[in-house]
Amino acid sequence: MSKRALSVSREENFPEWYQAVVRDGDMAETSPVRGCMIIKPWGWGVWERVQAELDQRIKDTGHENCYFPLFIPMSFIAKEAEHVEGFAKEMAVVTHHRLKNDGGRLVVDPESKLEEPLIVRPTSETIIGDAFQRWVKSYRDLPLLVNQWANVVRWEMRTRLFLRTAEFLWQEGHTAHADRDDAMAETLKMLEVYREFAENVLAMPVIAGEKPANERFPGADNTYSIEAMMQDGKALQAGTSHYLGTHFSRAQNIQYQSAEGKLEYCHTTSWGVSTRLIGGVIMTHGDDDGLRVPPRVAPRQIVIVPMLRDKPEDASLIDYCAGLEQGLKAAGIRTLVDLKPIKSAEKRWAWVRRGAPVIMEIGGRDAAAGNVTFMRRDHLRDGDKVVSKTMSRDEFVAGAAELLDDIQAILFAEAKARLDGNIITGITTFDGLEAYFGSGEADDEAGAFKGWAKVAWSRPEGAELEAIDERLKALKLTIRNAPLAQDPVDGPCLFTGASAKEFVLIARAY
Amino acid sequence: MSKRALSVSREENFPEWYQAVVRDGDMAETSPVRGCMIIKPWGWGVWERVQAELDQRIKDTGHENCYFPLFIPMSFIAKEAEHVEGFAKEMAVVTHHRLKNDGGRLVVDPESKLEEPLIVRPTSETIIGDAFQRWVKSYRDLPLLVNQWANVVRWEMRTRLFLRTAEFLWQEGHTAHADRDDAMAETLKMLEVYREFAENVLAMPVIAGEKPANERFPGADNTYSIEAMMQDGKALQAGTSHYLGTHFSRAQNIQYQSAEGKLEYCHTTSWGVSTRLIGGVIMTHGDDDGLRVPPRVAPRQIVIVPMLRDKPEDASLIDYCAGLEQGLKAAGIRTLVDLKPIKSAEKRWAWVRRGAPVIMEIGGRDAAAGNVTFMRRDHLRDGDKVVSKTMSRDEFVAGAAELLDDIQAILFAEAKARLDGNIITGITTFDGLEAYFGSGEADDEAGAFKGWAKVAWSRPEGAELEAIDERLKALKLTIRNAPLAQDPVDGPCLFTGASAKEFVLIARAY
């Protein structure tokens, strides 16, 4: 292969390429605590942008932020039956509250055993439901619309940075409504907020739709998701929104007095996105030189690297760059002059791997001529050659915001073309699925790109659906969702032969 | 007493008054999880403002945000000897990672016992130190300046909302430096950031100084604090900054190669403020009608309550208020039109108790005349009478930013006068301390305001200091800090009789 900034290409080995981007792009690293990651400044900066953009949208749709306890009493988890089945498995359990010095060795003090174990929250429906039950009295208190930004823990056996970690960060929205219609409208409204956010901010095109019954959130009547296509063709569930019916309100007694004076159960919803989105950004936009961060979530949108030479002229070059920085910041652009005491070529490549949208290298000649030289990270190379462009500083500053918009649009368009071009239609039999996807065994998977199949089905549930799920799993496939607002379907279900009710998307997934 | 919006006054019972402000001001409530609080939207909104303002200052001083794991392996806690003594006590200990269904009952699965218990972080020196040890190689990597916003848990026996809770939220800065001078400069720089932030943003005057040896952070060479005076005279430690010497770098092998090629230990620091600050804001600015939030941390600076009457005229009144809101938002003011379907008098008093800086009640007559009527929360009453003012809408909008600045300044000035006027000098004997402060028993404490005593001391350490600490504790007193940049001291130490080296502040404290 030709020389790129990473040691492994997407085509050679996609999972290893992913790890290389995360590591060499200073996004995150593993920690000495099993399954928990350390998010490094550049990765955290992306998360801060995600938080800022999404938080504004959550507030604009009428939600208020709160904060609920990290711990959940074990008995709370047990309250909602399906929730127990789904969540009461791999979780961090706090059983003691003290350590003691035992002959010079630190040990858990057996005397400090808790009467009731506490669970580190895997999600907060039960502890928030308990508050809702106190807060909701009358129909006038509804809808109750809250959100929290928090860390949660699910004890995962096989972890992968950002995509699946024991501790992860997310927002979880929780709402209570007077009736089904209002709660369902909320569920779909937040799904649409996620879609708009993923596409317009992360430049990550998604398909919004409803999950099949077997993929529902434990305790939900309906679960909706947005699904994004990664560069290896796999699907990434990037956000979910659940209509919970009255399951949690019945389990926790969340009732209100209606205008007519009757006691009614609330209909509740929950919805969330997590640090997993960052994994999605990486696998949507990264290339063989590293990450490409969409400008709207780039902690630094333009990075200026002065080509310092440890000579007296450096001072005026730094001045020139500071002036440039000032002009860009005045235009509302997140700008950094990188003055770290290392070689400028090293700095340039570090920013390429991190994926800063625009990287400028300014030398004495640029400064003397009132020029700037820059690279666009969305289009770094022509063939193997790195492309840079020189123009007048004033012209660059005047057009910088537009340049970033252009990069954002191009990243989205690239990803959108990939998604649109790789949804296969026309498969009507299970054998057809197998022929297209192959067995999904490791060798097979490493290189070959497989898109998604859009197939007709009759929306089976129960044992019939479970059997289908098993057959798909044998091929490492899952049903991702039934896209919203889809075309009418005609003909038989691929699985059951019965009359089809809708199309669903089938794919390998993270 | 005269009628106020709270059921209990500061003078009647300060601790109960505090609870009433927290509850009736919609700041927070206790949760079913021992010692853990639920932060409600208004309280969370204040914390969001604290985060935004302080985060900018932390970034402006060159720090980058990261995120480190929630859990710390027990063996890490054991690494730094004094740290063990100080922290390895009341902590949440995770011992298992699974629940199971045992004949219909949810229990901790004994098979899921962890090889090594995990501690829910009480502070992160050890886990961050472990990363520093990997990240720092050469003097070129220094200083290493990171910060994280996180939740931490310390198993407290007696908790009080915001002031002392098992789980709390904070930022913790952690830095590594080449030598003592650089690390000490950082320690004092961040102390100054805290002072400036407390005074200019929270309108909470503080005294910055060094803690005595017995109050140092476990593992620190020097601990500095900012101390604020609450309305009952007690001190609140509102932020700390620690110079950790080479204790943690030796325990965790954080070494760098110097320019001369020698391996050297880093000098590290850490510093933090927490949700406790919100308790400080309440006890600094609250009055008998509830909280008064300084405009710079008020989630809503101006709240508009339209006096709706369930009549067709309501529509034009709402329009008028929306126009007003638009004008204020355009001036950069966080504004809310409260359209909740409850009586406007109820809404007015709810905002009084929450302490929105300016509360407007707009009726049809105001709208017809192009006027506004408003109350300033910093000066709500004249005697018992609530004061409101009417002026033209345009005039109000034009002067609104200045009005908020004025409220901010007045809240600070009130608190500053309290602090400055209540530091007693001239006490030179222990008997004098006892005579001034009394025994500190419950009855005594409830009403009587006691300020702080500024006394001369010889800076004893070790057993001598411990004995002094014991004597002070018997009176429920502690040494708060030795103020920075203090006047020269003369004469004997109050405690030892030896020649005094500096003044220290002695007070009851939270």
Decide the pairing of beta strands B502-507 and B478-479.
Answer: antiparallel
Predicted pLDDT at A134: 96
Peptide bond into B205 cis (omega under 30): no
Rounded mean pLDDT of A348-376?
97
Residues 249-278 of B with CB under 8 A from A: none
Query: Quick check: A203 and A415 in contact, CB under 8 A?
Result: yes
pLDDT in tens, A159-208: 899 999 999 999 999 999 999 999 999 999 999 999 999 999 999 999 99
Residues 323-342 of A with CB under 8 A from B: 340-342
Q: Detail the DSSP E strand segments found in A178-254.
A: 206-210, 222-229, 235-243
Q: Do A66 and B44 touch (CB under 8 A)?
A: yes
Q: Which residues of A touch B48 (CB under 8 A)?
A: 65
Residue A158 binned pLDDT confidence (cut-offs 50, 70, 90): confident
Q: Which residues of B touch A151 (CB under 8 A)?
A: 70, 150-151
Q: Which residues of B touch A131 (CB under 8 A)?
A: 29, 31, 38
Query: Quick check: A198 and A207 in contact, CB under 8 A?
Result: no
Query: Quick check: A365 and A316 in contact, CB under 8 A?
Result: no
Residue A383 has pLDDT above 60, yes or no: yes
B111 → chain A, closest CA residue:
A90
DSSP 8-state assignment for residue A6: S
Q: Do A31 and B131 touch (CB under 8 A)?
A: yes
Query: Quick check: A446 and A14 in contact, CB under 8 A?
Result: yes
Cα separation, A412 vs B419, in Å, equals: 57
Q: Detail the DSSP E strand segments found in A112-205.
A: 113-120, 144-153, 167-177
* Residue whose structure tokens are 């580190």: A120
How many beta carbons lie within 10 A of that of residue B131, not counting itself? 23
Contact partners, residue A263, CB within 8 Å, separation at least 6:
A255, A256, A257
Predicted pLDDT at B104: 79
The residues of chain B scoring below 50 in pLDDT are 1
How far, rounded to the nearest angstrom, does the alpha carbon of residue A53 sit from its chain's CA centroid? Answer: 13
Residue A443 has pLDDT above 80, yes or no: no
A39 contacts chain B (CB < 8 A): yes
CA distance A29 to chain B (A): 10
B88 contacts chain A (CB < 8 A): yes
Q: Which residues of B touch A77 (CB under 8 A)?
A: 99, 106
Burial label for B417, CB within 10 Å (0-12, 13-18, 19+), is exposed
Tell me the HSE value of B60 on the side-chain side, using a 13 A CA sphere.
Answer: 10
Peptide bond into B460 cis (omega under 30): no
Residue A87 binned pLDDT confidence (cut-offs 50, 70, 90): low
Decide the pairing of beta strands B90-102 and A90-102.
Answer: antiparallel
Predicted pLDDT at B122: 94
A37 contacts chain B (CB < 8 A): yes
Angle at CA B483, nearest 5°, toward B481 and B486? 150
Contact partners, residue B186, CB within 8 Å, separation at least 6:
B143, B145, B175, B177, B269
DSSP 8-state assignment for residue A138: B
Predicted pLDDT at B91: 92
Q: Do A94 and B92 touch (CB under 8 A)?
A: yes
Predicted pLDDT at B157: 79
Predicted pLDDT at B1: 43
Predicted pLDDT at A236: 98
Q: Best of A33, A135, A300 to disrupt the B interface by mutation (most B CBs within 10 Å)?
A: A33
Q: Do A33 and B153 touch (CB under 8 A)?
A: no
Residue A16 has pLDDT above 60, yes or no: yes
Six-digit token string for A463: 């044992």
Predicted pLDDT at A203: 98
Out of B48, B84, B106, the one facing A88 most closely (by C-beta) is B106
CA distance B169 to chain A (A): 10
Q: Do B167 and A70 touch (CB under 8 A)?
A: yes
Q: Do B38 and A146 touch (CB under 8 A)?
A: no
Cα separation, B332 vs B295, in Å, equals: 12
Residue A2 has pLDDT above 80, yes or no: no
Query: Quick check: A456 and A493 in contact, CB under 8 A?
Result: yes
Residue A394 has pLDDT above 70, yes or no: yes
Q: Best of B59, B94, B137 to disrupt the A interface by mutation (most A CBs within 10 Å)?
A: B94
B340 → chain A, closest CA residue:
A140
Query: Quick check: A145 and A127 in contact, CB under 8 A?
Result: no
Query: Quick check: B241 and B190 in contact, CB under 8 A?
Result: yes
- CA proximity to A202, closest of A302, A333, A294: A294
Residues 92-131 of A with CB under 8 A from B: 92-101, 106, 108, 112, 117-120, 127, 130-131
Q: Do B69 and A38 touch (CB under 8 A)?
A: yes
Q: Do B66 and A93 touch (CB under 8 A)?
A: no
Q: Which residues of B touch A161 (CB under 8 A)?
A: none
- Per the prediction, chain A carries an average pLDDT of 95
Six-digit token string for A12: 């050679």
Query: Quick check: A88 and B101 in contact, CB under 8 A?
Result: yes
Q: Best of B38, B112, B169, B253 to disrupt the A interface by mutation (most A CBs within 10 Å)?
A: B38
Out of B38, B88, B94, the one facing A69 most closely (by C-beta) is B38
How far, rounded to the nearest angstrom, does the alpha carbon of residue A284 sit from its chain's CA centroid? Answer: 11
Sign (positive/negative) of CA torsion A269, A274, A279, A285?
Answer: positive
Q: How big is the A-B interface in CB pairs under 8 Å?
A: 188
Cα separation, A38 vs B67, in Å, equals: 6
Out of A99, A117, A119, the one facing B74 most closely (by C-beta) is A99
**Which string of b and e fits A158-189 if b means at least 16 CB within 10 Å?**
ebbbbbbbbbbbbbbbbbbbbeeebbbebbbe
3-class SS string, B436-460:
HHCCCCHHHHHHCCCCEEEEEECCC
How many beta carbons lie within 10 A of that of residue A474, not counting itself? 11
Query: Quick check: A6 and A17 in contact, CB under 8 A?
Result: yes
Terminal-to-terminal C-alpha distance of chain B? 27
